[in-house]
Amino acid sequence: MDLSAAQHPLKAKGTLFTHSLLSALMVFLLAYLCLTLSAESSHFTPLWFPTAAVIMLMFHQPPRNWPLHLILSGIGMCIASFLLFGLSWFPVKLTLINLLEAIVCTLLLRRVLKPDDPLNGLASWLKFVFCAVIFTPMFSALLAASLAPAPGETFWQPFSTWFISEAIGVLALAPIGLVYRRSMLRTLNLFELLLVLLGTLTFSSLALLNLPFPFTFIILPLLWAAISLPRLEAFIICFTTTLMITVMISLGLLHFQDRGTFLSDVTVYLPLMLILIPAHAMAMVMHAFRVEKEHIVESEARFRNALEYSAIGMALVSPEGKWLQVNQALCKLLRYPPETLRRLTFQEITHPDDLNADLTQLQDLLDGHISSYTMEKRYIRSDGESVWTLLAVSLVRDPQGQPLYFISQVEDINELKRTEAENRSLVERITLANQAGGIGVWEWMLNGDKLTWDKRMFELYELTPDQTPTLALWSSLLLEEDRERIGRQVATLSDRHRPFVMEFRIKTRLGGIRHIRGQGNTILDEHGEPKRMIGTNIDMTEIKSLAEALHEEKERLHITLDAIGEGVISTDREMRITFMNPVAEQMCGWPLEMALGMPINGVVRMTNGQNGPEIENPVQNCLQEGPPLPAEYALVLHSRDGRRFDVQESVSPLKTIEGEVMGAVMVLQDVSAS
């Protein structure tokens, strides 16, 4: 680990040095080429590419790597000059000015251009031209003409030569380095580039040698290359054409009219700049056009995919209502094939009851009163079935504000509407049931004192609808004897988290007492903490009164049965004993606790006479609607403890309100004494 970490900086330094050395070699070759085309060592070179090479190398490198690039590039320039013209200080001074120009230009370009794509449009190219083609060449030309003047020339002659050589060199070469990316090699059409390059160079050389005003004709193939090729290929062709023209001028193949001494070489090389500028500008315009076209194509593809593969129905609809484009989800929802749907209008498949509302909002959208609208509407499917949908519509207009088409989003809510109808019906049934049963519904948010009541709750507690129910108000309505007990129960409800039931009494407005049964449950939040309680209240006053009356009646009946001298036994329909009075217990020898639930045949055993045969229990005859026992029978009851009683029996069925037999009552009268 430590060894690899220590080797990593050394490897990075080695890579940087190799890259800088290769860059310096390229600068050396460009300097050697330009100096070879120069007539004399004491004059400024009429075309200079090394500065452009240094600029494009430094632009893509961090500033910490610049010193090595500058040193090696400067050495390369000086060596090229020394090889051609011998040792002197003159090329050293010029090299220092070149390097200073490269530094200033790179700093300006890094400030005004984007690092990832410097020449991404005409605006960025104009910034490049101002900084790299006009400002910094003029700045370095002033330094060169002032600090290293050519012998025997005026100030303007070296200034103009330096300026035009640097400007053309940067304009022709620097754009190639600024836009170049290694990934471009995968998309580079080498055959097309070579074909266009060969045609351009051939046409340009023939025009230069045979046509008047040749630069007028040379611009044509350059513009054609800028229009038909990507910007990198177009810049390469412009650079190659510039290099070819310079070589032809240096070799004396081109003859120009005598030029004045004021501008010197500017009149010869200025046309090069004039043909490069429109060609480069056209290349940038076409690049921006291609990028915009790619964005449009990508945007259309994204929109088409979003439309086609959307989970909800989407469509483009004309202002007249015709379906222009529909996706699969919409066709599946409406059960129409796409070609059939495109022959229809939305008006034709809209439910008649929803059409007017839709057209009204559509007209408001066309008139500009609204920007979009959403509504629930029904469409008629191909099989005639109606389907509920949620429709969202927006309008797309052209630059003049005229409507182009509607964007419609259609979501299937048929199941939701069916569920809503079922829920509405369920709520209505629950409401009606609550009203019929006198049930009031309440809710209490545990973080406050306020209660939420329905209408029945206000009726139960005899409050007006304008009163706000609170926990304190409810507690004040409780009967004083129940208030403390109910308060303790309420305090523990939030801790138990289970259904609860409590009964209490309240005071009515007229001073009466009303019995209330309250029940409910605690609702928990997503963290399992109690959030609210919901429950019901029901008036139990009538039931309580009835229960008390029944209890009193039952007590009177029991006292009466206990007081009479006959034995009374009741059974259910299966002849199991449900009740025996004390006389019956004494006569049968069975206490009630033991006899409850036993078959009556095992408790009441009777014979016809003292030692006669055992007879069938009269209760069985009564429940099965059989004939009663003969009157001449002398019934004898045999007690559990062996005693015998002469008895007379009477059996009657017990019936419900509907007349169904639910048991029988047998009365045994001891007639032993008589």
- Which uninterrupted H or E stretch holds 154? none
For the stretch 191-222, pLDDT in tens is 888 998 899 889 888 888 888 878 888 889 99
User: Any idea which residue has 């005859």 for tokens?
Assistant: 621
pLDDT of 488 reads: 86
Asked whether residue 263 carries a pLDDT value surpassing 50, the answer given is: no
- Which uninterrupted H or E stretch holds 434? helix 414-437
Q: Summarize the confidence of residues 125-151 as an average pLDDT.
A: 86
Report whether 607 contacts 614 (CB < 8 A).
yes
Please give the order of strands across the beta sheet that includes 386-397.
323-326, 313-317, 403-412, 386-397, 372-380
- Rounded to the nearest angstrom, the gap between the alpha carbon of residue 640 and the centroid of all alpha carbons in its chain is 85
Strands 530-539 and 451-453: unpaired
Distances (CA, A) of 360 to 338, 364, 366, 374: 27, 6, 10, 12
Asked whether residue 559 carries a pLDDT value surpassing 90, the answer given is: no
Which of the pair, 144 or 262, is modelled with greater confidence?
A: 144
Phi, psi of 332 (to 5 degrees): -65, -40
* Angstrom distance (rounded) from CA 633 to CA 368: 107
Tokens of 617: 């229990």
Q: Quickly state the pLDDT bin for 42 (edges 50, 70, 90).
A: very low
SS (H, E, C) 577-599: EEEECHHHHHHHCCCHHHHCCCE
Is residue 380 helix, strand or coil? strand
Angle in degrees, 0-180, between the axes of helices 90-112 and 136-147, rounded to the nearest 10: 160
For the stretch 475-512, pLDDT in tens is 888 888 888 888 888 888 766 677 888 889 988 887 78
- Rounded to the nearest angstrom, the gap between the alpha carbon of residue 209 and the centroid of all alpha carbons in its chain is 68
For the stretch 621-635, pLDDT in tens is 788 776 777 766 788
Asked whether residue 314 carries a pLDDT value surpassing 70, the answer given is: yes
Burial of 375 (0-12, 13-18, 19+ CB in 10 A): middle
Is residue 253 helix, strand or coil? coil
pLDDT of 6 reads: 43
What mean pLDDT value characterizes the chain? 85
Report whether 310 contacts 327 (CB < 8 A).
yes
pTM: 0.55
E strands, 97-256, where?
A: none
Asked whether residue 92 carries a pLDDT value surpassing 50, the answer given is: yes
pLDDT of 152 reads: 60
pLDDT of 358 reads: 93
Asked whether residue 3 carries a pLDDT value surpassing 60, the answer given is: no
Q: Summarize the confidence of residues 627-650 as an average pLDDT.
A: 83
Buried b (16+ CB within 10 A) or exposed e, 570-596: bbbeebbbbbbbebbbbbbbbeeeebe
Phi, psi of 438 (to 5 degrees): 70, 30
Asked whether residue 183 carries a pLDDT value surpassing 70, the answer given is: yes
SS (H, E, C) 158-184: HHHHHHHHHHHHHHHHHHHHHHCCCCH
Name the amino acid, one letter, at 414.
Answer: N
Report the chain's terminal Cα–Cα distance, integer Å. 123
Q: Quickly state the pLDDT bin for 265 (edges 50, 70, 90).
A: low
pLDDT of 260 reads: 46
Asked whether residue 308 carries a pLDDT value surpassing 90, the answer given is: no
Asked whether residue 590 carries a pLDDT value surpassing 60, the answer given is: yes
Tokens of 359: 């057209």
Helices first, then strands: H and E counts in the chain: 23, 16
Report whether 518 contacts 503 (CB < 8 A).
yes
Give the torsion through C-alpha atoms of 428, 434, 440, 442, to 10 deg. Answer: -40
pLDDT of 261 reads: 44
Is residue 440 helix, strand or coil? strand
Asked whether residue 59 carries a pLDDT value surpassing 70, the answer given is: yes
- Rounded to the nearest angstrom, the gap between the alpha carbon of residue 444 and the centroid of all alpha carbons in its chain is 34
Q: Summarize the confidence of residues 162-169 as an average pLDDT.
A: 89
Report whether 613 contacts 635 (CB < 8 A).
no
**DSSP state string for 17-67:** HHHHHHHHHHHHHHHHHHHHH-S-TTS--S---HHHHHHHHHHTS-GGGHH
Asked whether residue 255 carries a pLDDT value surpassing 80, the answer given is: no
Asked whether residue 315 carries a pLDDT value surpassing 70, the answer given is: yes
Give the percent of the chain with pLDDT over 90: 28
Report whether 549 contacts 555 (CB < 8 A).
no
Which of the pair, 64 or 156, is modelled with greater confidence?
A: 64
In terms of residues, how long is the chain?
Answer: 674
Poorest-pLDDT segment among 241-255, 398-412, 473-487: 241-255
* Angstrom distance (rounded) from CA 483 to CA 9: 84
CA nearest to 92, candidates 110, 74, 108: 74
Q: Summarize the confidence of residues 632-645 as an average pLDDT.
A: 85
Alpha-helix residue ranges (DSSP H) falling in 309-405: 328-334, 338-342, 352-366
CA nearest to 60, candidates 22, 97, 109: 109
Report whether 262 contacts 157 (CB < 8 A).
yes
